[in-house]
Structure 1
Amino acid sequence: MTTAYVAMFAIGGIAVLVTLLLTDIDLGGTHDGLPFLSLTGLSAGLLGAGAGGLVSGWAGLGGLGSGLIAAGSGVALMFALQGLLLPYLRRQEANSHRGRASYIGLLGEVTLDVPADGWGEVSFVDPDGNRVRARAITAEPEALPKSTRIYIADVDSEFVHVVAVQAI
C-alpha cells in the first residue's frame, strides 16, 4: 500500500506544479458547476491523498485508517487549493498588468539628488497606491535637489525621466 501512496504523492505533486506553473486546465468545462474537476483540483486531491496515506501508514495505522486519512487529506487539500490559494493567485494576476509606462504623468518627490549629468532617486505613489522608489534622470540644465516636486514625463527600462514642477 505504501507504494501506491508514494505513486499518488509523486504524480499529484508533479501535476500540481505543472498546473500552477503552466495553466489551470478545466476538465469539467467551466468553473461554474464543479470547480474541483479541474486538473489542478484533481492533482491537489491526489497529492493530499498520497501524503496523508504515507504519513498515516508510517504512523502505524491499519489499511482502513490509512485509507480514511488519505481520503480526508485529499479532499482537504483539494478544497484548500481551489477555495483559498487559487482565488488569491488569480487576484494577483489581475493587478500585474501594469507596467512602468503607468508611471508616466505621476507626481513625486526627489529622495536622492538628481544631477543634470547622472541619476538620482525619486519617490512617488503608483496607480495602485503603492509607494515606489525609482532611479531617475532629468534633461533639465540644473540638478534637482532632494525634496523637489517632480513630474514623470517618460520611462525606459532603467530610469524614470523627470522634470521639476513649480509649487503652487
Structure 2
Amino acid sequence: MTEQIKEQDRQQVVEAFWPQIRRAAKGYERRAALCEELSQDMAFALWRALNKFDGQCKLNTYVYRVIHNVAVDHIRKHSKQNEDELADEHAHSPDSPESNMQKQQQQQRLERAIHQLPLSLRQVMMLKLEGIDTAEISDVLGISEANVGIRLHRAKTQLTEQLMEKY
C-alpha cells in the first residue's frame, strides 16, 4: 500500500479515531483550553501524517504513534509553564445526576494520578487503557515488549500507591 491515502479517506480516519484522540489529549493535558488545543493538534498532525502512511504497520499503531508524538512535543513545549496552572479545570456537567457523582470523582482521581506519573509510564498506561496490546504498544513507542511490561508494572504500582494515599 504505497499509494497515498486520499484527503476524504484521511478525514474519515481522523473522525473514526476522534474519541481516542480526545482521551489521549485528556490524558496528557488537564487544562481544558490546552486539552482542546492538543486534540486539534493531534487531529491535524494525524491528517497530515496519513499522507505518508505506507502500510508498514497497522493503521491503529500508526495513529497512536502520531498522536502520542504530538503529545510528547506538547508536554515539552508546555512543561516550562508554572505548575500552579495545573489546577483542575475539568469540565463538569452541572446537570449530572447525583448517582454519577461518585463515579465522576473516582474518574477524576484516576486522571489526576495518571497525570502524576512520569511521561514514560503515563504513555504505556494510557495506551493500555485504550485496549492496545503489549506488542502494539511496543510498536507505537519504539520500545521492547519487555520494557512495556516493566513500565506497565511500575505504572500500576505507582497508581495504586497514589490512590491508596488518598484514603
Q: Is the TM value for this pair above 0.5? A: no
Higher relative contact order by CA 8 Å / sep ≥ 6: 1 or 2?
Answer: 2
TM range (shorter): under 0.3
Higher helix share: 2
Higher strand share: 1
Larger radius of gyration: 1
